Amino acid sequence: MQDTLNALLAKAPAELAALKSRAEFEAAKARYVGPNGEFTALMKQLGTVPKEQRPVMGKLINEAKGQLQAQLDATLQRIADAEIAAQLGPAVDPTLPSPDAGPGTYHPLTQVREEMCRIMRKAGFTVVEGPEVETEYYCFDALNTAPDHPARDAQDTFYFPEAARFGNVSKKVEGEKYLLRTHTSSVQIRTMLKGQPPIRVISPGRVYRRDTTDATHSANFHQLEGLYVDKNVTVRDLKAMLDYIFASLLGKGTTTRFRPHYFSYTEPSFEVDLSAKHLPKVNKEWIEIGGCGMVDPAVFEAVGYDPNVWSGYAFGMGLERLAMLVYGIDDIRYFYQNDVRFLKQFA
């Protein structure tokens, strides 16, 4: 019996080393330790061994079993490693220079965002960021949005299921509904709750809506939010700032126009159109570019600012729309396809 055991242990390493696939491995494992395996047969024979030899043989078999199991484990690990290596393909040396000469270019959306931040910094604004996973409170409630406002509708907003857990939301408030922010206006509330006026901030970032994607819509796009809070702020200040921004970005011939509109967080509220006839692809007289208005007293109250002391303006606009104007791009989907032929044009 001991000879059989030794023979078995002697042939196992070579046989296991020759295995190439999981199927081969499973078959070999069955041959050794399966219900009808060679090793299993040996174990069964232990009962036939004379009583006084049993402890010695039992020990030998146990040791052999340990060795065999270790070899099986190592074999399976080797096969799994080979599978992963095959999936990964030939090794890549990330320190080699790129086959495309040069350092590459920034994405056009990044370029427009950075240019806008540069323009706004010159006017004394700081750049702040807010989370993309938001709560109804920051996205709607504190912005004075009525409980039945259509923007809250699950058809427009991506809500998370009750049970969702998030890495970046440290304290989940019970009963609070979580969502992907539908606009960067939520950052207005976060900023005001953090400090005291005067405030001059802009906040670029991703926003999400349940839009079907076509040439001008995407379920995920980018906005740029602005908030200015001080004493005696007027609509003239707002208009002057927007005129400055768009003339800086698009050139001298650019003008803006306000049309009355409704936003729950501003009163009065406007939609902003701009005219930039000098741009090659702009063939309309006025193009809608964003929303704005004077911060509603209800919003100041929500963040604990006295609306009799403080006044301010806010604005928000889509970065894709701006980039499309700047570069004459006519389909929003180009931004997200990562087609190098497209991206290379913005060097």
By the rule CB under 6 A, 183 interacts with ligand DAH: yes
- From 114-122, 133-141, 160-168, 288-296, give the range in contact with ligand DAH by CB under 6 A: 288-296
151 closest CA partner among 143, 72, 5: 143
By the rule CB under 6 A, 263 interacts with ligand DAH: yes
Measured in degrees and rounded to the nearest 5, phi and psi for residue 155 equal -75, -20
111 closest CA partner among 335, 323, 334, 328: 323
Residues 97-116 that bind ligand DAH (CB under 6 A): none
Tell me the torsion sign for CA atoms 90, 93, 97, 103: positive
By the rule CB under 6 A, 134 interacts with ligand DAH: no
CB of 337: closest distance to ligand DAH in angstroms? 24
CB of 314: closest distance to ligand DAH in angstroms? 3
CB of 83: closest distance to ligand DAH in angstroms? 48
Task: Sort 305 into a burial class: Cβ within 10 Å, 0-12 / 13-18 / 19+.
Answer: buried
Task: Sort 191 into a burial class: Cβ within 10 Å, 0-12 / 13-18 / 19+.
Answer: buried
By the rule CB under 6 A, 316 interacts with ligand DAH: yes
Residues 290-309 that bind ligand DAH (CB under 6 A): 291-293
What is the total count of residues that contact ligand DAH (CB under 6 A)?
11
- From 101-109, 162-170, 276-284, 314-322, give the range in contact with ligand DAH by CB under 6 A: 314-322
**Which one among 225, 279, 299, 302 touches ligand DAH, defined by CB under 6 A?**
225
Pairing of strands 199-208, 220-230: antiparallel
The vertex-269 CA angle with 267 and 272, nearest 5°, equals 160
Positions that interact with ligand DAH (CB under 6 A): 183, 185, 225, 263, 266, 291-293, 314-316
